[in-house]
Structure 1
């Protein structure tokens, strides 16, 4: 089975190219060729694959396996809980919903509902704690980070957006892939299939 290294990977579009250990031309790989892995490929991953030739003569990697990356475990169907437990859970949720409804509409403590709920489930946390107003909203500050599919790839490939627009200005398929994924205004993917410069470099 051929081996190689992930040379380019576009997480957003789910495809990339493999640099073959045999020295042959870089080969196209789609995310569908990788199944049951705990994570997606990254640049530098070692990979084993099979080569499939399409009707138009292009080649792509299939039945791929990332070396050193564990496979995800199959999902196990858990046995459903007993009916009695489910009914208790539903009743508790209904009591909580009624209590919150009173709180929102009347802006008053639903003392009667809370008292009934706490008597029915004395082992549970007091109902008043379930909808206690948040005093410090800063404790729920959320951190957001924009995901760039080529953060690590830009450093690994060594390319940068330098104003190139057409395939005639590119030097390799790897460079064309970088420009298509990172640089605005390029005109290197005429048919819009996500593979740039197919006639010059990336045609397989």
Structure 2
């Protein structure tokens, strides 16, 4: 009956031409036979002095054999699994750029849709050069300056008070377009 136990030791002897060697157990100095087939495939060739972990397979005749050997000590993954340093740096840089873009888009969205900003009213200057208070009106200064361009008395009054350069108060009494839109005032 075979008995299997996991332990560790140091590769004390290795014959690379024949593909076998011996692992020395710590403390006792006992040596256990190991064949190349017990090592993981695709790794470096075994080297004398290498620390290994393995299972001991005790045969019927009392002979011990190392099986399922794993390399210890280096702490790094096998060579075929390591990522090149340049590839690692570029993936970190790409992740950083992506993160910065996400932060910028988030900040822009917050500023646009947060509702914490109020529109700033542009002060209006009337014909006398005084700043008029901004009021909510259905009219806006669009470059019209004469009575013939107006459509109502209210619009003419708005333009006279809010828009610079108007020519709608010929007698200077503050009433615009007296002969067309605002006659009885």
TM bucket (normalised to shorter chain) is: 0.3 to 0.5
TM-score (norm 2): 0.36
Over alpha carbons, which structure has the higher Rg? 2
For CA contacts below 8 A with separation 6 or more, give which structure has more relative contact order.
1
Which structure carries more strand by proportion?
A: 2
Which protein has the bigger helix share? 1
